[in-house]
């Protein structure tokens, strides 16, 4: 049986393995994804931040410590919401449970910055959510998000004896839609979109795209030279930054 969206992380075994993965030294989240997100987000002093698919809430704690004026995290997983409540304890940060597949319920023009880290690829239709984000941002507000790179969401796995993927076979790239992926000991549904599809979806929601990045590794973030070389073979993540016109 495959999991759809948030209920994947409400599987006890999956959640336990996810926490262990995130704690691992030189995880892709820390070496590839976090540095680019930080560059695209920039200073957050005084900003009201909305985090979609906030996960365990640790990033929200970091943003508040960096000067964010307020923080609201939304996640569909009950396990993740409980973890985020623990992470945000003692801060001004808030978290609530909500299924992003149904769009976004938020007061209009109430945030300066909307972010999402590796959550949008679980959605069959990102349009309603992107339009909801646009409405929730103040004029001049920004959206910055990361997602699985299209060459990953459309590739077939070829694993070596050590369990590491050695070949990435891009297949049906121009066929968008549902893909079942084995990850963290279970099957989960992700949704493939081409790079062009992602760009068009953001523009179609009324945003002006200001940056498009891929997860090109930066040597200073890797203690292991062999891992750096491995990460240089293929992009794992796609990043888009966009602005709501004033």
pTM: 0.93
Buried b / exposed e over 102-127, threshold 16 CB at 10 Å, is ebbebeeeebbbbbbbbbbbbbeebe
What are the tens digits of pLDDT across the range 36-67?
999 999 999 999 999 999 999 999 999 999 99
Whether residue 129 has pLDDT greater than 90: yes
CB 135 within 8 A of CB 108: yes
Give residue 96's pLDDT.
96
Domains of the chain: 2-149+194-243 (3.40.50.150)
Question: Pseudo-torsion of CA 59, 62, 63, 65, nearest 10°?
Answer: 160
Give residue 245's pLDDT.
97
Average pLDDT over residues 70-96: 97
Average pLDDT over residues 163-169: 68
Give residue 44's pLDDT.
98
- What is the C-alpha separation between 24 and 37, in angstroms, rounded? 19
Give residue 159's pLDDT.
45
Question: Pseudo-torsion of CA 192, 242, 234, 39, nearest 10°?
Answer: -140
């Amino acid at each position: 049986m495959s999991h759809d969206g948030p209920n994947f992380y409400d599987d006890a075994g999956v959640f336990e393995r996810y926490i262990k993965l995130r704690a691992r030294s030189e995880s892709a989240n820390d070496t590839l994804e976090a540095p680019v997100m930080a560059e695209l987000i920039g200073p957050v002093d005084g900003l009201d931040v909305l985090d979609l698919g906030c996960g365990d809430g640790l990033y929200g704690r970091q943003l508040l410590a960096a000067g964010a004026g307020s923080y609201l995290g939304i996640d569909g997983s009950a396990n993740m919401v409980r973890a985020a409540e623990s992470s945000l304890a003692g801060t001004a940060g808030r978290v609530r449970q909500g299924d992003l597949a149904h769009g976004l319920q938020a007061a209009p023009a109430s945030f300066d910055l909307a972010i999402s880290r590796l959550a949008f690829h679980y959605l069959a239709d990102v349009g309603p959510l992107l339009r909801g984000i646009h409405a929730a941002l103040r004029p001049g507000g920004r959206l910055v998000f990361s997602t699985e790179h299209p060459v990953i969401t459309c590739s077939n796995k070829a694993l070596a004896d050590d369990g590491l993927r050695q070949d990435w076979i891009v297949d049906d790239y121009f066929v968008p839609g549902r893909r079942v992926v084995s990850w963290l000991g279970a099957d989960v549904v992700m949704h493939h979109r081409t790079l062009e599809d992602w760009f068009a979806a953001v523009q179609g929601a009324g945003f002006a795209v200001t940056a498009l990045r891929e997860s090109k590794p930066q040597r200073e973030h890797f203690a292991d030279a062999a891992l750096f070389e491995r990460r240089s073979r293929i992009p794992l993540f796609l990043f888009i930054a966009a602005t709501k016109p004033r």
